[in-house]
Homo-oligomer: A and B are copies of this chain.
Amino acid sequence: MAKVASSIAPPESKPRGRQRSSECEAAILSATTELLKKKSLREITADAIVQRAGVSKATLYKWWPNKNLVALDAFLANMRTNVGIPNTGSAVEDFKLELEAVIRFYTSPTGKTFRQFVAEGQSDPEFLEVFRERFLRARRDETSIMWERGVERGEIRDDVDMDLGMDLIFGPMIYRLLAGHASLDDAHAEAMIEVAFRGLQKKPQ
């Protein structure tokens, strides 16, 4: 993470000196995870992380450039149990289930960090890009399978750009998540998909 993968050569004589402690990395990530449950990203300090992890500040800054990227790594590490995407045979149903699942996640204790990553990204373009590539794109790659299945089955119009379609489906939810001007629940998901798909699906004619 945040580091270059240690490259190729497998025999690779170890460098001199003490080796990087994977325990340190784990301690930092899990400390960060714990802190994120209690406080917002902005409120968490690098000092708090290292203290809770029983690790020195130099160690943290040796492996990560700043605490946002630590938090991102911690966040991603907790997503490995990756929910499979639904496959009901109907694109509308699939996206409805998916949207519900995503809403549940984003409003969960862990998922609410998402909003804070987007927020941090507004004043740190590099971070925003990393976040986009490592989180958003991964999610979109998964959901694109659902999209393609819909297109192949003739449920989704093939003249609609997928990115546009995806934004139509998930954009309103993101907007509500960030602006908080309206509620977010299963009912909303259903209604939203209903209307959106009226614009996306092929006419049955």
A residues at B contact (CB < 8 Å): 40-43, 115-116, 118-123, 125, 128-129, 132, 136-137, 140, 160-161, 163-165, 167-168, 170-176, 178-182, 188, 191-192, 195-200
Contacts and interface: CB of A to CB of B under 8 A. Distances in A.
A135 to B, nearest CB: 10
Contact of A180 (B132, B173, B188, B192): B132
Contacts of A137: 181
User: What are the 3 tightest A-B residue pairs by CB atom distance, in nearest-first order?
Assistant: A171-B172, A199-B199, A198-B199
26 contacts: A40-B123, A115-B122, A118-B122, A119-B120, A119-B122, A121-B179, A121-B180, A125-B180, A129-B180, A132-B179, A163-B181, A164-B188, A165-B195, A167-B175, A167-B192, A168-B168, A168-B196, A171-B172, A174-B174, A174-B175, A178-B178, A195-B200, A196-B196, A196-B199, A198-B200, A199-B200
A136 B179 CA distance: 9
Contact of A42 (B123, B129, B173, B195): B123
Contacts of A42: 123
A191 B164 contact: yes
A157 to B, nearest CB: 9
Q: How many copies does the complex hold?
A: 4
Given A172-B168, A175-B175, A199-B199, A191 B122 contact: no
A181 B119 CA distance: 15
A163 B182 contact: yes
A178 B136 CA distance: 12
Given A40-B123, A119-B121, A168-B192, 11 more contacts: A42-B123, A119-B119, A132-B180, A136-B179, A160-B195, A164-B191, A167-B175, A167-B182, A174-B175, A178-B178, A195-B200
